A and B are shown apart, each in its own frame.
Chain A
C-alpha cells in the first residue's frame, strides 16, 4: 500500500539556521499539507497546497516558513531561520482531493513525521 514518506526522521539544528523538511506524498494525490505538534500539545495545521500554490495557511505559518513542490514527487517545508519554539514533530499529509464539490473532506494520509530539535 502506498504511503507518505518523510525525511529525515530527526533533524537537529542550531537556532537561526535554515532547515528543509522533505516529504514524498502518495503519487496520485493532488493536495498536500503540513501539520506540526509541539511536545505535549495538539497537532496544528500549518498549510495546505494545491496546484503549486498555497490554498490556506494558519497564523503560525509566517514569513519564516515556505513550501515548495520542486519536482513531481517532493513536497518541502522550509524554515528560514529557526527559533527554539520551532522544535516540534512535523507531519506531512496528502489527499487525492480536498473534497470540494463532493460529499465530504477527502481522507488525508499522514507521513511518520520529522522530529525537529532547535538548540
Chain B
C-alpha cells in the first residue's frame, strides 16, 4: 500500500520568495508521483509528474520537483512566488497495479504582498 505525507497544512511566503512544499511518500513499488494545484471552488490541475525518467521534473507556472529515492521525497519548489500561486497543492502517489492515486491532505499556500 502507498501513502503520502505533506508536511505543513499551511505555508505562507512573501511575494518573490522561494516556495518549498514538502511531500514524502511510501510505496512498495517504484512510484509515479504527481503534484496538483487547486484554486478555490475548482477542480485539480496537474502541475507536474514523475514517471521514472529524469529525477528533476519541470512543470507549469515555473514549478519543479525533485524525486529523491533515498529520502522518499518529492518536494515542490518555485524560486520566486507570485500572488497568483496562492492555492492549495496536493501531492499524490501511484503505486502498484490498481491504478489508484493516493493523495496527501494538501498544503494551502498563501502569498503575502
A joins B in a complex: no
